Structure 1
Amino acid sequence: MTEHPPAERFLYTTMGLLRRSDLGMILPHEHIFVDFRTPDQPGYGEADPADVVAAISHRFEEIKARGITAFVECTPTGVGRRADVDLAVSLATGVPVVVPTGSYREPWVTPFVRTADDATLEAWMVRELTERFDEADFRAGWIKLSAGDDAISPLEERILRAAARAAARTGAVIGSHTMRGRVALQQMDIIEDEGYTANRFIWIHTQKETDLGFHDAAVARGAWIEYDHVSRDPDEEVKALILRALDAGHADNLLISHDVGWYDPAKPGGGNQRPYTHLSDVMMPLLRQAGVDEATLKRLTEDNPFLAYARPA
């Protein structure tokens, strides 16, 4: 039998497909544009891309100055995804942005996702991953979902199953806003039941689960755990959680980011966009002082984000 080398993987961005060699540090969980009003509210998701560019471009100039080479946008449909806005910000600043297909949880599910049958949901995600977004002419880089804080609703499970089938067809990673460890493990069960693999699952907001045994259990199944509260919780708490994960042997499965930004069309002028610089300016120096070596920091901030989000061409 002839053995074939593994397929090369790429980050799918607003600026095309990028190889690992094209990239340095990547922010794996941030936001450019979010609207937490439900999709049935007047003015939901509405903004002129030029206004968003004007409001948020300086935040992208800040991360460029710190060597950030790519930015993962984590806003799915249901909470105001605007791939056209992401593209405009990216082109204006020169920062590649990775944008998801997929849907947020109830009650933020759009009418299309709520009423589409299973095959249509799957086909929609595959099309956005392989052809183009509904609202912009570039391809989705991954699938973003969510689940209820205490349980997965029947609709959320149906969306997850469609996502797992779409991911199996494309190699995309599935990330989910999930607060409870038992729910995250249930999501992995569903993904595997649909024929995909837990090592292509990102448990977003893992830090919200205070029983660290669930963190260990997720890594044991191959999943990515994500501590995305840098700058939002006290630095010593964030540092301690990262160090504990490293001591537990989770360096190869850990993502760290801020989960900040963003332009909010429900607020005058888009609100106040928080900076994406605390990881570079504060947390990485604190980790160095705690004895984390440069190879591990590179793994956490460069290698892991690429490996998590990249997929074959």
Structure 2
Amino acid sequence: MTQLITTLGPRQRSELGLILPHEHVFVDLRHPEASDYRSVDAASVVRLMAPQIEAIAAQGVTALVDCATGGVGRRADVSLAVSQATGLPIVVATGNYREPWIPRWVAEATEAELETWMHSELTEGIEDTGVQAAWIKVSAGDDGITPLETSILRAAARAAARTGATIGSHTIRGRVVLEQLDILAAEGVDPGRFVWIHTQEEPDFALHETVAARGAWIEYDHVGRVPDDELVRMIGRAIEHGLERRLLISQDRGWYDPAQPDGGSPLPYTHLVGSLLPALTAAGIPEGTLRRLTQDNPFDAFAR
């Protein structure tokens, strides 16, 4: 049975509606060896972030994919606390970010050890939180994937092959995504289990088409950070070229930042439903297509 694994347990397609596939609850972009992110009390995060979650629940959002990963302050206990406080399922990742956000233990681990760690979080749970990771989040450098990032990706591929989990990667350049897809293919991973995060940052639309044609997911996740008319044109072009079955849209918003006093000022998650979807409707995008982009595609991309 295909299910989306969340902080509140597995959910079937029939139990979910609109899903935000790329947001953040808690992120620390300082170097992991210098950060004190683990000292933040979960209750402080709940106070700041629960109202943001409650606002999208009121819009009809039924789940949120939290894209924090190792190296940038992933706190599964915090995601769980916010989820329990609001009743909204949150989808948590295992894996690790790119250099230089790679903790010493990850850099020194073998690929087999990294595979075992990710597999354990995908099947048993993260640390002592009781939260099971649903997917794997990695990254690659803008100029090309480094040897260390390649090792992390190979380990992720092997853990994904054993569990059916999706791998999502923060990758800015399309040519680097093609490198990653080749590495995954060599490990026997279906490209349909790969999400190219931040696809919109690649100006060559032909690379969007190439990656989607290989079966991978492309993700436009800057909703609310550029004008809606620009987003309508971008999404409309993807639909016109037949990419709607491989396209995800989200906002990359939030979050509690432990480097800021009292967590800073989070950006609301409400723009996609409150502004962009009405703009897409006004532009003539059919309701069924919008349902695919906001409900079917996110479930298909992250469920296993």
TM-score, length of structure 1 as denominator length: 0.96
Alpha-carbon shift at residue 21 of structure 1 (Å): 0.3
User: 1:128 aligns to what?
Assistant: 121
Alpha-carbon shift at residue 138 of structure 1 (Å): 1.8
User: 1:4 aligns to what?
Assistant: none
Q: Bigger CA drift: 135-144 or 257-266?
A: 135-144
User: 2:57 aligns to what?
Assistant: 64
Alignment partner of 1:258 is 2:251: yes
User: 2:104 aligns to what?
Assistant: 111
Q: Bigger CA drift: 10-19 or 229-238?
A: 229-238
Matched residues, percent identical? 58
Alignment partner of 1:31 is 2:43: no
- Structure 1 residue aligned with 2:173, among 177, 180, 192? 180
Alignment partner of 1:74 is 2:74: no
Query: 1:233-252 maps to which residues of 2 (within 5 A)?
Result: 233-252=226-245
Distance across 2 between alignment mates of 1:83 and 1:165: 23
Query: 1:191-206 maps to which residues of 2 (within 5 A)?
Result: 191-206=184-199
- Partner of 2:222, secondary structure, is coil
Distance across 2 between alignment mates of 1:269 and 1:44: 12
Alignment partner of 1:98 is 2:91: yes
- Structure 1 residue aligned with 2:163, among 170, 175, 189? 170
Alpha-carbon shift at residue 42 of structure 1 (Å): 4.4
Aligned partner of 2:102: which letter? V
Aligned partner of 1:218: which letter? V
Query: 1:198-217 maps to which residues of 2 (within 5 A)?
Result: 198-217=191-210
Moved over 6 A (4+): none
- Partner of 1:71, secondary structure, is strand
Distance across 1 between alignment mates of 2:38 and 2:125: 19
Aligned partner of 1:40: which letter? E
Query: 1:37-56 maps to which residues of 2 (within 5 A)?
Result: 37-56=30-49
Alpha-carbon shift at residue 45 of structure 1 (Å): 4.3
Distance across 1 between alignment mates of 2:146 and 2:216: 22
Alpha-carbon shift at residue 134 of structure 1 (Å): 1.6
Alpha-carbon shift at residue 197 of structure 1 (Å): 1.4
Show structure 1 runs of 5+ residues with no match.
1-7
Is contact 1:128–1:140 with CA below 8 Å preserved after alignment? yes
Distance across 2 between alignment mates of 1:235 and 1:135: 42
User: 1:290 aligns to what?
Assistant: 283
Is contact 1:83–1:135 with CA below 8 Å preserved after alignment? no
Aligned partner of 2:249: which letter? I
Distance across 1 between alignment mates of 2:49 and 2:235: 29
Q: Deviations over 1:196-216 (max 9, x none)?
A: 111110000000000000000
Query: 1:267-278 maps to which residues of 2 (within 5 A)?
Result: 267-278=260-271
- Structure 2 residue aligned with 1:9, among 2, 14, 22? 2
TM-score, length of structure 2 as denominator length: 0.99
Change (3 A) 1:121 1:42: closer
Aligned partner of 1:216: which letter? E
- Structure 1 residue aligned with 2:76, among 74, 83, 102? 83
